[in-house]
Chain A
Amino acid sequence: MAMVKGKKICRFCENNINFINYKDERILRRFTNERGKIIPRRITGNCAMHQRKITNAIKRGRILAIIAFESESFR
């Protein structure tokens, strides 16, 4: 509650990035937590369009074994 700093701005809009490569492990890792779950929009601060693109990219990355579907190695 007290963590609210103000409105976050979508990083992809700021930098004018419109294509998210599903083969780029680094980007996919950024938007998943240690369990491999997709981090919600309210935390990442992405706009709807870019969150959707990231979600798609993560799901494709999972199919291609670039990131894990889930992992229990962290805990």
Chain B
Amino acid sequence: MRTYETTFIINPQTDDATIERHISDIADIITKNNGKIVHEDKMGTRRLAYPIQKLTQGYYASFIFEAPREVLPLLDRHYKLNEMYIRNLTVRFDGKLEEIIQQENPFVKPNANKFVSDKEALKAKTEVETKKEEKTSPPPENREEPVQETPVVEPLPEDNQEKAEKTKENVEEKGESQETPETNYDDEEDQL
């Protein structure tokens, strides 16, 4: 049994219940064929980088699962037969699960911690834990906003605001761990 990751985009122009049903359909196919779902991620509605079937937004969701390889053609068939899935991608999963789970939703907020080394991350983790509780509450609000006819421009300033707040907090509580990655990014842009 191998670990796979399947990501798909659902047409968002329906009610939430049908979206949920299409997500659980995929889960059913995996579990009914001796597969096991390791991690589920509903990333929510996001603007597509290019229009697909004249749609500009899509609902993203993904599963990381262990399953025998017979499941893959079944999944593929299901995707093909149902027009609600506008894109899908199933690949062998080669990352570490813990890394994925630690990462915040990349769609909601770009992860500034990417370039922090593991050791630093562990150090920061204990300090951040209190903050994480605060962090977990804001994302759902952000996810819903783009659905309500806020296409392109708005997410960015929000991120900046959040960042600004974040850095303020950082300066007070812990200067080093989160600021270093940001400077990394800046250096990089100068070089390029």
Tell whether B134 is near chain A: CB-to-CB under 8 Å: no
With contact pairs A60-B91, A66-B49 given, residues A15 and B103 touching in the complex (Cβ less than 8 Å): no
Contact with B along A4-38 (1 / 0, CB 8 A): 00000001001111110101111100100000000
Tell whether A54 is near chain B: CB-to-CB under 8 Å: no
Tell whether A49 is near chain B: CB-to-CB under 8 Å: no
Neighbouring B residues of A18 by C-beta, 8 Å: 95-96
A26/B111 in contact, CB under 8 A = yes
A68/B50 in contact, CB under 8 A = yes
Tell whether B153 is near chain A: CB-to-CB under 8 Å: no
Neighbouring B residues of A27 by C-beta, 8 Å: 114
* Interface residue tally for chain B (C-beta within 8 Å): 32
Partner of B7, one of A19, A44, A64: A64
Neighbouring A residues of B15 by C-beta, 8 Å: none
Cα-based distance from A73 to B37 in the complex (angstroms) = 40
A19/B87 in contact, CB under 8 A = no
Neighbouring B residues of A24 by C-beta, 8 Å: 103, 106, 110-111, 114
| Residues of chain A at the chain B interface (Cβ within 8 Å) | 11, 14-19, 21, 23-27, 30, 39, 43-44, 60, 62-69
Tell whether B144 is near chain A: CB-to-CB under 8 Å: no
Chain B residue nearest to A33 (CB atoms) is B192
A26/B89 in contact, CB under 8 A = no
With contact pairs A30-B188, A65-B48, A69-B50 given, residues A19 and B99 touching in the complex (Cβ less than 8 Å): yes
Cα-based distance from A39 to B96 in the complex (angstroms) = 26
Tell whether B130 is near chain A: CB-to-CB under 8 Å: no
Neighbouring A residues of B43 by C-beta, 8 Å: 23
A25/B106 in contact, CB under 8 A = yes
B50/A25 in contact, CB under 8 A = no
Cα-based distance from A11 to B118 in the complex (angstroms) = 14
Chain B residue nearest to A44 (CB atoms) is B192
Further pairs besides A23-B60, A24-B114, A64-B9: 20, Cβ < 8 Å: A14-B117, A16-B118, A17-B114, A17-B115, A18-B96, A19-B96, A19-B99, A19-B100, A21-B100, A21-B103, A23-B62, A24-B106, A25-B106, A25-B110, A43-B192, A63-B89, A64-B60, A65-B49, A67-B49, A68-B50
